[in-house]
Amino acid sequence: MKLFTAEQIRALDRYTIEHEPIASIDLMERAAQAFTDWFVQHYPASRPVAIFCGMGNNGGDGLAIARLLQAQRYTVQCFVMKLKAQGSDDFETNLQRLQELTTVTLLERAEQLPVALPDDALLIDALFGSGLDRPVEGFPAQLIQFLNRTKLPTVAVDIASGLFADRPNGSGDVIVKPEATFSFQFPKLAFLLPGNAQYVGEWYVGDIGLHPEVIQQTETSWFYTDAAAARALLQPRTRFSHKGNFGRALLIAGSYGKIGAAVLSAHACLRAGAGLTSALIPQCGYKIMQTALPEVMVMTAGSNKKIVSDFPPLGAYDAIGVGPGLGKDFKTAKALGGLIEKMISPMVIDADAINLTAENQAWLAKLPRQSIFTPHPKEFERLVGPVANDYERLARAKEFAQRYQCVIVLKGAYTAVVLWNGEVHFNTTGNPGMAKGGSGDALTGILTALLAQEYDSATAAKLGVYLHGAAGDLAAQHNGMIAMTATDLIEQLGHAFEQLNHA
C-alpha cells in the first residue's frame, strides 16, 4: 500500500472530484458515511455522543457524522468552534442540513468552557484535519485541553486535532489524545511513529473511493507492507527442489553467557527455509548448539573459548548474518573488520556487530553493498549520532542507506525498512509481546535465511520483517503477549508462511 503526504491526499481528493466526477459535498458525505458505519460497529447507541467541529472540511465531516448518527438513533450534541464569520463551503452546507434537524451549539470564547457533558459520553474530535499547518493556540488550544481533561473516550475524525500529518510537532503543542482515530482512505505517516502514540490511539482506515487511477499514478517514497504486498514477494518452491536450491546460510554469533542468542538466530534461520544452516560460535557453545539444534552444522574458531576471535575462509556461504550475542572483545572486533573487508555478498549486521561498526566507522566504506542493518533506536543512534525526533530518525536512516547503499531495518512498532533508493516500507505485523530478549536474534536468522535463498536484500528485509511480526502475532494468540517468548515466535514461523501463502 502507498502512503501519501497531506498535500498529496488533498490532490487525490481534487482529482477524484474532477474525474469521477463527484461534487465535493458528496465526497464529504461518503467519508462521513464510512466513519459512521465504523463507529456504529464499535460504539453502542446507548451512549450519548458529543461532536466538536471546526469550521473547515474536517468540521464539515463532523457535522455530517452528527446527522448520520442521529439517523442511527444516537443521542448527539454538536458543538462548533466558531472562529470566523463563515466556514468552508461544504462546512456551511452541512451546518445548514444539521440545523434543520437539531440545535448546534456555537463555542466562541474560553468563558463558555467547560461545557456540560454526560459522564458516559463518547466524544468525536472534528476540530482540525490534516491541513493544519501551525500549532494550535488561543481558544482552540483551550478547547482541546478541555477535551483531554474530560478523560472521556474520544475518537478523532481522520487525524487528531493539533497533530501534524507528516512533520514533527513541538514538545509543547496542544493535541487531542484520542483512544481511536478513523482515517480516510490511507493512514497518515504520523500514525506510524512512536512519539505520536498518545495522539493516535488505535487507528482504522476506511475506503472513501478516491480515484484508483490517480492513486496508481502518484509517486511516493512511503509504503505499508500488508499481507497482499508480502504475499507478492514470496518465491514458490518447485517439486524437484533440493537443499542446494535454498542456499547455505551462516550465523556468526554468541559469546560466553550469550550462546542462547546464537541458538535462537540459527533456529529462526532453519525455520525460515535456508537449505543448509551453519553457525560459527565460541568453543563454549559447541555442545549447546549441537544438542539444541542437530540440523545446524557447528564451527568454532580461535583459541579463546569464550568469544569468536577468528573467522576461517567463508566463501562457501551464500549469506552471512553476524552479531547476536557476539560481544565486543577487541579480538572479535578485529576479526569482524577483516570479514567486512573481504566480503562481497550482502550481510545481515545485528546487535554487537552494529555496535562494533559504530565504533569503527571506517568499516562502512568497505561494507558489501546492499547489506542489511537491523538496529533498534539506540543502536541506530550509535551509528549516526543523536536524533531530535522520529522524523529526523527516518531522514537520517534514508541518508545512511543511500550513502552506504544498504538497508536499514529500524526495529519497533511498524518497523521501518529503509532502502538505498529512498523508499521506506513500514510493516503491518507484530505486537508488544515481541518486546523481549531474543526477538531481534530471531529476525537476524530469518533475514539471513532469505538472503541465502536468493531473495534480494530489499525483498528479504520487507518479507522477513513481515513474517517475523506475523509469527509474533501467532505466538501472542497462543501464549499471550506477556508470556510469549522468542522461541514461541520461531515455532510459529511455519504457520506464518502458510498463512501468507493463503492470503
Annotated binding-site residues for (6S)-NADPHX read: 57-61, 129-135, 158, 261, 325, 376, 441
Query: Other C-beta atoms within 10 Å of 288: how many?
Result: 16
Bridge partners (DSSP) of residue 299 are 280
H helix intervals, 295-329 = none
Edge-first strand order for the sheet with 248-252 is 2-3, 222-225, 424-427, 416-418, 407-410, 372-373, 347-349, 319-322, 248-252, 276-281, 297-300
Distance CA 104, CA 77 (A): 7
Residues annotated within a binding site for AMP: 411-415, 440
Distance CA 4, CA 183 (A): 13
336, burial (CB in 10 Å: exposed 0-12, middle 13-18, buried 19+): buried
**Contact assessment for residue 398 and residue 422, using Cβ atoms and an 8 Å cutoff:** yes
418 φ/ψ angles, rounded to the nearest 5 degrees: -105, 120
Residues annotated within a binding site for K(+): 58, 125, 161
Q: What is the residue type of 234?
A: L
Distance CA 307, CA 286 (A): 12
Distance CA 269, CA 473 (A): 19
Closest CA to 347 of 326, 302, 381, 317: 317
279 φ/ψ angles, rounded to the nearest 5 degrees: -135, 130
Maximal CA-CA distance, the chain:
86
Instruction: Please enumerate in sequence order all residues whose Cβ is within 8 A of that of 357, keeping only pairs 6 or more positions apart, or say none.
Output: 336, 340, 349, 363, 364, 383
Closest CA to 164 of 187, 198, 191, 132: 132
Query: Other C-beta atoms within 10 Å of 145: how many?
Result: 14
Residues annotated within a binding site: 57-61, 125, 129-135, 158, 161, 261, 325, 376, 411-415, 440-441
Grid cell locating 353: 556487530
**Contact assessment for residue 38 and residue 157, using Cβ atoms and an 8 Å cutoff:** no
Bridge partners (DSSP) of residue 51 are 78, 124
Residues counted in the chain: 503
Distance CA 455, CA 436 (A): 28
Q: Which sign, positive or negative, has the C-alpha torsion 18, 23, 26, 31?
A: positive
Grid cell locating 192: 506510524
Question: Beta strands 424-427 and 416-418: pairing type?
Answer: antiparallel
Question: Beta strands 276-281 and 248-252: pairing type?
Answer: parallel
